[in-house]
Structure 1
Amino acid sequence: MSFIDAGEPSEPPYDDLASKLERMSESACPKWPSIYRVPEHLRQLNANAYTPWHVSIGPYHHNDQKYRVIEEHKVAYMKDLVSRAKIAKKGKVLSYSQKWESYVQEVKEMEPNARKYYAETIELSEEEFAKMLLIDGCFIVEFLCRKIQKLSKVRDEPTRTPIQDNEPPSRHRNFIPMYHFIDGVYKKWEPENDFIFQSTRTSFEVRRDLTLLENQLPYFVLERLFHLTFRAYYLTCEYEPTFSEIVYCAMRTSIPNIAHILSKEEVISETPPQRQRNTVPQANEDIIPMPSEPTCLCTINGRAMHEFRVPNATRLGKAGIHFRKSESPLLEINFDPNKGVLEMPVLIMWHHTETFFRNVMAYELYNHSTDGHKRTVSDYMCFMDDLIDTEEDVKQLVRHGIIQNWLESDNAVADLFNSITKHILANYSSYSDTCKKLNTFCNNAIRKGIAALRQDYFNQPWAIVYFISGVILQTTAAIIQAAFSVKNGK
């Protein structure tokens, strides 16, 4: 049985696969939903940041006529993915129509549990919901693989985007086995004939749509569709990519154990997923049901909230703190009070930065680790909001290489940070020690006086000359005055 016309493309030869796809543990019923609509009070701040531009994924924007143009391309992507699959039963390679039935059966089995990942009651029939899972899920898997194939072809080109500029050449070398695997499957695919990949801008905007909170499928659905398609290829390849690694390579993300692509969308991390570790979420155990408030709005671990608010970058500089760019993941901020050095990794500001961070923070309102009240990205953005009040603070961070600004001005960056954390309650738990050390350093009276002296008198070479000259003149005048006093006394 098939609930849409899959078509019958010319069928390539397939190797025998005498094994059956194992049911994956992610299909276990989630304890709580993890895909929500954006709260209205956040949407009102910037509705565009939470709204798909090209493609709708999942039920929240399903059948919206604004996205009908891309629907036929989603179906085409689905058909191509099914064509690539190598599926055999009892030693016999399945025909295209038989493979199609395998995909249909797969999504029908996933449908009941997949529905429970959504916070709202979805008014779609079982068949309509399964059809949506199949089309949208296959589209995402095929898009990610095509994205990797495109990256493998352009990785040595001199023209780079803000996203690519955040990646040292070694990152691409780490992806070479992935590139070889995907190239073996997609070598006949031609980007110039692909509606989405004809334009770099369109492909980036589709990628952006896949990171929206309201535009998600349960991750286990994508993972099972990926394994159904590519499992047989592992028999003839030395490299066996996991779907987590596919997401990491295509989206430039690291993979924590959460429940959908947005939750795994950590452009903020430079660490690839560890192959030796289990990256499969067990029954979605790290999702909690409702937004959790900070330990207390005025205290953290018994200390006053003001201890965790830090001065802006300009004031920190005047207090004698030196900014230093690091190669660490974006969320890793360290302060050495002995050296007075605040180390921060590079943050690239471009036109999709606000969208990404707004959606991750909205996600963190409802989903985070059960090991406390951590809102990692929200804490980071609130820390940056403390550092940045005006464009002068931005200039300070740009000057030290901590911010790479692709926006129209430094003032635009300041405006973004001054507005993006509105209605976000951070508990600063991720940076409580760093904040306390910074404030202790700044409040040290002796150090503050030395820093002020350095700022006022030693920030320019000519100022040093004037200061020394002034000291010499005053000393000379004092000596002469003392000499005359002695002489007159006689």
Structure 2
Amino acid sequence: MAGCLEADFQFPMEDPLDELATTIKRKCETLPPLSSKCCIYRIPRNLRKINEKSYTPSLISIGPFHRGNPNFQAMEEQKLRYLQRFIQRNSNRDLEDYLTASMKWEKEARDCYLATISLSSIEFTEMLVLDGCFIIEFFLTWRRGDFDPTDRIFHRPALSQAILRDLKLLENQIPFFILEILYNIAFEDNEKAPSFLKLTCECIIGPNKIPDHYQKTKILHLVDFLRTYYLPPEKKETCYEGQDWEFPDGISELHESGVTLKVDKDDKFLNIKFEKGVLYIPELMLENYTESQLRNLVAFEQCHYPRESFVVDYVLFLDSLIYDRKDVEVLVNHGIILNSPGSSEDVYRLFSNISKGTTYSRATFYYADVCRRLNDYCGTPWNRWKAILRQEYFSNPWSMISTIAAVVLLILTVIQTYCDIIQLQY
């Protein structure tokens, strides 16, 4: 009898919802803490699907996102060779010193990545040292110019250019402060060595002095370094909420409406100005890697600077000026776009596609005032009439002479007619 009672007795089953709630709570408890230092992102899918090649390394993996990809295995040997060369720059330091310094800052470096990095502490530290020392040695070799005869990168200019392009990809980054730490160890006793900031400027931008705003800004990584260089000197906070502004017509329409177009030799392409009927646009050299650079700057701003998206605003503004190939030809003829590798159709397609998938804020759009003043200027009839006169009658010396002759003839005819009328009256 007792055995029957034991067989019939059953423990109450746990409520499925309670079990699910417990599971979710455990997952929440194991979430890694969020960090405000995050600055290295994977490219959002809506941008990547438009042109995946622009965001993907071609030769070398830097950082954790593309680490282990067999396509970049050949460059791992070069990293080791560059590491050997770099360590020899300071005979008082050995590899352990660089590893120790990097491991000390491991947490801060991990916090810079949006995704959780699954590498162990040893693997992560190895990555920081190998990749960081490679970048620094690459810059030092680039700056010095006298290459080792056995160097397999700089004796092939296409390779060095491709690597420099890969170093400007958002997914191919390590924190800038790690690079500075490694560099400062190597040159701690060398007072003549430039700062790593200056070295980076010489290699990525050119042999110019360091812009003042670098001293006031914490550089996050090489993509952020590039963006910081191009920032306007005065990042004025614009606000046009409640005010009407629209994107202007294509550049050929603006030109026909009386806007004078002039190229600005400023190498900071964001500095577009409209003053007294003249639209100043800095020249833009379209080379093989320009699209990749612009796309990664745009992606970085979309992820990290949604309220200060100067590069996004730039590509949107230029896209508004380029409706068709005719607009491209106007920009090329004025020396604003220097298009070395492709046709007008390629330029049109570039700016049509590069702004796809991006979002922007009308309230903080950097060129809102330029757009508004352009539209106001073109909406004034007198400016259009002046443009028609200039384009139709004063576009070249012969048409100008013909026009002046016609006006003089008309005046003489009127005078003659007046004199004839006066004679008839008397």
TM-score (norm: length of structure 2): 0.80
Specify which of 126, 138, 142 is matched with residue 131 of structure 1: 126
Three-state SS of the structure 2 residue aligned to 1:304 is coil
Q: CA RMSD for the aligned pairs?
A: 3.0
Match of 1:45 in 2: 50
| Alignment partners' CA distance in 2, 1:127 and 1:112 | 12
Match of 1:433 in 2: 369
Amino acid of the structure 2 residue aligned with 1:455: Q
| Alignment partners' CA distance in 1, 2:290 and 2:73 | 26
String of CA shifts for 1:145-198, please: whole Å, max 9, x gaps: 111112xx6xxxxxxxxxxxxxxxxxxxxxxxxxxxxxxxxxxx51x4211111
The within-5 A match list for 1:32-71 is 32-71=37-76
- 1:203 corresponds to 2:160: yes
Three-state SS of the structure 1 residue aligned to 2:161 is helix
String of CA shifts for 1:363-384, please: whole Å, max 9, x gaps: 0012238xxx221111111122
Specify which of 232, 246, 253 is matched with residue 315 of structure 1: 253
* Structure 2: segments with no counterpart, 5+ residues: 1-33
Three-state SS of the structure 1 residue aligned to 2:152 is coil
Match of 2:26 in 1: none
Evaluate the alpha carbon distance shift between residue 267 and residue 111 of structure 1 in structure 2; reply closer, same or farther with a 3 A threshold.
Answer: closer
Specify which of 361, 379, 382 is matched with residue 443 of structure 1: 379
Bigger mean CA offset, 420-429 vs 49-58: 420-429
TM-score (norm: length of structure 1): 0.71
Three-state SS of the structure 2 residue aligned to 1:323 is strand
Match of 2:117 in 1: 122
Paired residues of 1:407 and 1:413 also in contact (CA < 8 A): no
- 1:463 corresponds to 2:399: yes
Paired residues of 1:36 and 1:120 also in contact (CA < 8 A): yes
Paired residues of 2:42 and 2:170 also in contact (CA < 8 A): yes
User: How many residues of Structure 1 are paired with residues of Structure 2 in the alignment?
Assistant: 379
| Alignment partners' CA distance in 1, 2:340 and 2:74 | 30
Paired residues of 1:86 and 1:233 also in contact (CA < 8 A): no
Paired residues of 2:284 and 2:337 also in contact (CA < 8 A): yes
Quote how far apart the aligned CAs of 1:388 are.
2.0
Identity of paired residues, percent?
32
Quote how far apart the aligned CAs of 1:432 are.
2.2
Match of 1:147 in 2: 142
Specify which of 331, 345, 349 is matched with residue 270 of structure 2: 331
Question: Highest CA radius of gyration, 1 or 2?
Answer: 2
| Alignment partners' CA distance in 1, 2:230 and 2:371 | 21
Three-state SS of the structure 2 residue aligned to 1:265 is helix
Specify which of 283, 292, 311 is matched with residue 355 of structure 1: 292
String of CA shifts for 1:340-397, please: whole Å, max 9, x gaps: 222222211111000000000000012238xxx2211111111221222223222222
| Alignment partners' CA distance in 2, 1:459 and 1:109 | 69
- 1:265 corresponds to 2:221: no
* Structure 1: segments with no counterpart, 5+ residues: 1-28, 88-93, 154-188, 273-293
String of CA shifts for 1:83-104, please: whole Å, max 9, x gaps: 21243xxxxxx5xxxx111111
String of CA shifts for 1:23-81, please: whole Å, max 9, x gaps: xxxxxx96231111101111111000000000001110010001001111011111211
Match of 2:102 in 1: 107
String of CA shifts for 1:450-473, please: whole Å, max 9, x gaps: 212322332233433554555566
Three-state SS of the structure 2 residue aligned to 1:263 is helix
Quote how far apart the aligned CAs of 1:305 are.
4.3
